[in-house]
Amino acid sequence: MAERVMPERFRHALPAMLADLERLVCHESPSADLAAVARSAELVAELGERLLGVPAERIVLDGRTHVRWRLGDGPRRVLVLGHHDTVWPLGSLRTHPFRVEDGVLRGPGCFDMKTGVVMALHAVAALPDPSGVTVLVTGDEELGSPSSERLIQDEAAGCAAALVLEAAADGGALKTARKGVSQYEVRVRGRAAHAGLEPERGVNATVELAHQILAVAALADPSSGTTVTPTVLRAGTTGNTVPAEGAFTVDARVREPAEQSRVDTAIRALRPVLAGAEVEVVPGPRRPPLPPSASAELFARAVRLGAELGLGPITGVAVGGGSDGNLTAGVGVPTLDGLGAVGGGAHADDEHVLVPAIPERTALVAALLAGVLAVPG
């Protein structure tokens, strides 16, 4: 019965939550700007200390600032995970100011995912005893978590659950599965020559890139849900010179670990087609898949709690985008993602959050936390 009254509690707290959110959104934090991320981390730390009554730990890895609370002295039971960095460059507030109109909140990073950060802290603060909860808010998720990957995995290890406050999918659906994500850069070296006088003396990096792009694109397998997409391409220097070098990036997304291994092996095995050309593959961020089995039990619990709390039907969906939930699932921890803001427009001009859903989803997170903590062991 205590869980049933929680939505009303957060409705009363909504003005304070919106004030906290305005402060976070108005402190811009593009991932690549280390100073901006550090300033944002200080604000997250201050907010969490006020709500949780416990000072935050600032963890700086490769210059990137992450914020953590380990609550209570007992074993770690559940990880609440989010990030405070965004894709929006400094100055975006001038064209996309924070505002709330007709129940819709807007501002850079509000949906992905500063609303989720505020929700997470308020949900944990509402627990009678949050012992066993770890809250981790990272500062490099939008880059693929290069510095925080090991930190996330270590914090998740041994937990009974990881709750990820990334934004919900369309219609407010929770994210019950995510594709694994791998990124690469394929670099080609050829030999320059005058394109008009003696092109035969050159080794054309652009032509070699064309061969490699076709080989990489052929690794996709629609029947398995595997996409392998060449994206950014660069080559050459001037219009009358045989290109001596070039590169393209690759985005690969898979549903199953075996597919991730297959694609990885094939891309690393690329060999030049043109005599005299060289090919180098540089792997980038890699996240394992979050399979439906990792979220099944937590999602079933969320559906039940949603009904008990009067929140309406709780739905789930598999998505192609990756998150830090992939990392927690990858170390075998039950993971439920998409528990944050309901809205849309991530990374786009129409980024927005539906304000009436904030207290409802915060209540769901608090109820999930209470349920996990109530299970012995």
pLDDT digits (tens, 9 = 90+) for 203-250: 999 999 999 999 999 999 999 999 999 999 999 999 999 999 999 999
- Return mean pLDDT, the chain: 96
Kindly compute the dihedral angle of the four CA atoms of residues 207, 213, 219, 224, in this order, to the nearest 10 degrees: -150
Q: What are the distances in angstroms from CA 287 to CA 173, 264, 290?
A: 22, 12, 9
**How many Å apart are CA 296 and CA 91, to the nearest integer?**
41
Nearest of 109, 105, 56 to residue 84 by alpha carbon: 109
Q: What pLDDT sits at residue 3?
A: 42
For the beta carbon of residue 34, count every other beta carbon within 10 angstroms. Answer: 16
Domains within the chain, CATH numbers bracketed: 3-179+289-374 (3.40.630.10), 180-287 (3.30.70.360)
Distance of CA 117 to the CA centre of its chain: 13
Rounded (10°) angle between helices 14-25 and 34-52:
160
What is the per-residue pLDDT for 120? 98
Show the tokens assigned to 148: 């925080």
Please tell me the distance from the alpha carbon of residue 337 to that of residue 275, in angstroms, as a whole number: 48
pLDDT of residue 364: 97
Is the dihedral angle over the CA atoms 135, 137, 143, 147 positive or is it negative?
Answer: negative
Rounded average pLDDT over 295-317: 96
Contact 111, 168 (CB under 8 A): no
Predicted confidence (pLDDT) per residue in 168-200, tens digit: 999 999 999 999 999 999 999 999 999 999 999
Task: Name residue 182's amino acid.
Answer: S
Residue 286's pLDDT is what? 87
> Which stretch of 5-14, 100-109, 140-149, 299-308 has the lowest confidence by average pLDDT?
5-14
Q: How many CB atoms within 10 Å of residue 171?
A: 9
